[in-house]
Amino acid sequence: MHPAPSVIVFTTLSGLGFGLLIWLGLGLPAVTGWVAFAFFAIAYALAVGGLMASTFHLGHPERAWKAFSQWRSSWLSREGVCAVASLLVMAAYGAGLVFFDTRLALLGWVGALLSLATVFTTSMIYTQMKTVPRWNTPLTPALLIAISLGGGALLAGEISAALILFPIAGVLQILWWVRGDGAFAASGTDTATATGLGSIGTVRAFEPPHTGTNYLMREMVHQVGRKHAMKLRGIAFGLGYVLPVALLLVPFSHMLALVAVLAHVAGITASRWLFFAEAEHVVGLYYGKR
């Protein structure tokens, strides 16, 4: 798929924001007053900023509210419901911490679960797409949840948890890449199965269906050379996982913590770009791109 910048921003920032909200809901760190306000401000800026970026990627952003009505069948709708619910619950929970120095533990746990559900439903939007074999695996929600929890732990200052979650996320990332590289071939989908003409002989395209680009080509078909993909994977893995862990292992300082956060965001942004650029949607078969 063509990696739209707004979608990359959404999946990166909102994952971090909701990850931080999960830890805050669990009471970690145990902050109140203006310190709590600062943590919640960061979490909401990331989460809401990501949601806004996703909304403006829609063809008709003004109709975004209609997505909430399809929660019984649409993961996109479930994501919206969970996101709004978690933001409202965490706002009430945060108000108790900031203005009354009171932690309503049950409300925090509910908010944390809703925030986790938001990350999960976001991941399922992609996981359930059988037309993109690379995404259609349980590794997708496992990876996105691990990244969200790890990034949230880093922002929350939960160093011990981050040092456990980042290696787990890094292993899942490698497994996701390795499995994904053979996913399209393993799906058994080719021009013959896509057209249903395989029973009459070898199927090949006589000529491209279009002489120029179109919406499908822009949104669903994107090719990345393997050489460039491997370089980007190295950058994503090094910045997103290795460097933050290395910085967290040395004696703590706020400057190193900031560098770790920036490195992680840059690395995850690169991995998100690859997530979409290497998607290999089956519609590419009709354009001779698979």
Pair (183, 282) in one structural domain: yes
**Per-residue tens of pLDDT for the chain, all 290 residues:** 555 666 787 789 999 999 999 999 999 999 999 999 999 999 999 999 877 766 665 555 555 666 677 778 899 899 989 999 999 999 999 999 999 999 999 999 999 999 999 999 999 999 999 999 999 999 999 999 999 999 999 999 999 999 999 999 999 999 999 999 999 989 888 877 777 777 787 777 777 667 677 666 666 677 676 778 999 999 999 999 999 999 999 998 889 999 999 999 999 999 999 998 898 888 877 776 66
**pLDDT confidence of residue 198:** 75
**pLDDT confidence of residue 227:** 78
Domain with 257 in it? 161-289
138 in any annotated domain: no
pTM of the shown model: 0.91
Looking at 109, 128, 147, which one is the last position of a domain? 128
User: Cβ of 192: how many Cβ atoms within 10 Å?
Assistant: 17
User: Cβ of 84: how many Cβ atoms within 10 Å?
Assistant: 14
203 in any annotated domain: yes
If one counts the domains in the chain, the total is 2
Q: Is residue 267 within 8 Å of 16, Cβ to Cβ? A: no
**pLDDT confidence of residue 204:** 75
Pair (118, 187) in one structural domain: no
Pair (169, 285) in one structural domain: yes
**pLDDT confidence of residue 7:** 74
Separation between Cα atoms, residue 52 and residue 50, nearest integer Å = 5
Pair (108, 21) in one structural domain: yes
204, with CB counted inside 10 A (0-12, 13-18, 19+), is exposed
199 in any annotated domain: yes
**pLDDT confidence of residue 287:** 73
Looking at 69, 103, 128, which one is the last position of a domain? 128
242 in any annotated domain: yes
pLDDT, tens only, 236-245: 999 999 999 9
184, with CB counted inside 10 A (0-12, 13-18, 19+), is buried
Vertex 11, ends 16 and 161: CA angle to 5°? 30
Pair (166, 276) in one structural domain: yes
Pair (218, 100) in one structural domain: no
**pLDDT confidence of residue 203:** 76
Q: Cis link prior to 251 (omega < 30° from 0)? A: no
Pair (95, 170) in one structural domain: no
User: Cβ of 277: how many Cβ atoms within 10 Å?
Assistant: 18
136 in any annotated domain: no
Looking at 105, 128, 151, which one is the last position of a domain? 128
Output Rg (C-alpha) for the chain, integer angstroms. Answer: 21
